[in-house]
A = this chain, B = another copy of it.
Amino acid sequence: MGRRIRTFNRTAADAPVSAGGELPIDASFLESLLGYNARRAALTIIEAFLERMSVYGLRPVDFSVLSLITHNPGITSRQLCAALGILPPNLVKLIADLDKRGLLLRKPHPEDGRAIGLYLSADGKKLMREAEAAACDLENRVSSPLSADERATLMRLLRKIYQPDPSAPDTASGSTP
C-alpha cells in the first residue's frame, strides 16, 4: 500500500495529507499535455498490474518475457531483447532467475550453436496459464470505467500515437533541429 511512484508528471495520489490551510496547486498547464495524461494512465494501470502479478512473483517485465516465450516457444534472448527493448546484458539475470525458479527450459538452437532456445517448463506453463488469466481479469478491471466502444477507441487512438500512419499527412510544424 502507498507504493511510491516514479517521477515525471504526477499528481498526489498518496501525498502525505497536508497540514491544511494551503491553496490548491495549479497544475493546469501540465494537465493540458497529452504526455502527462498518457503517463498518468499508464502508471495507474501498471501499478494495478504490479499488485495483481505480485502473487505470481512476476514484475511486468517478467510477465512480458514469459508471455512472449509462451506464444513463441524456442524464442532466443536476442529476439526477446528486440521485441521488448531490453538490452542483452540486462536480460541475463532476468532469464537466469526465471530459470532458477524452474519456469524455463533452455535448449541449444538446432541450427545456430551460439543461440539458446527458450521454452516454458511444465511449472512455467501452469504459472502462465494463471498469470495470463489474471492479466485478462485485470484488463477488465482497469477498463471498467470505459464502455466497450470507448475501450476500443482508446486502444485505436493510443496506437495512432505510437504507430502513426505514415501515409497520413503531418499537419504539425514538427521540426527537429
A92 on interface, CB distance cutoff 8 Å: no
Report the Cα distance A27→B137, complex, angstroms. Answer: 19
Chain B contacts of A33 at CB under 8 A?
A: 135, 139
A121 on interface, CB distance cutoff 8 Å: no
8 Å CB contact of A5 from B37, B85, B135:
B85
Q: By the criterion CB–CB under 8 Å, are B158 and A40 in contact? A: yes
A145 on interface, CB distance cutoff 8 Å: yes
In the complex, the count of this chain's copies comes to 2
Chain B contacts of A60 at CB under 8 A?
A: 7-9, 35
A–B pairs, 26, beta carbons within 8 Å: A4-B87, A5-B85, A7-B84, A9-B84, A11-B83, A14-B85, A15-B82, A22-B79, A25-B68, A25-B83, A26-B72, A27-B83, A30-B67, A35-B42, A35-B46, A37-B155, A39-B42, A41-B158, A44-B161, A140-B174, A141-B170, A142-B161, A144-B164, A144-B170, A146-B161, A153-B153
The 7 closest A-B pairs by CB, nearest first: A10-B85, A15-B82, A35-B45, A144-B172, A145-B164, A38-B42, A141-B174
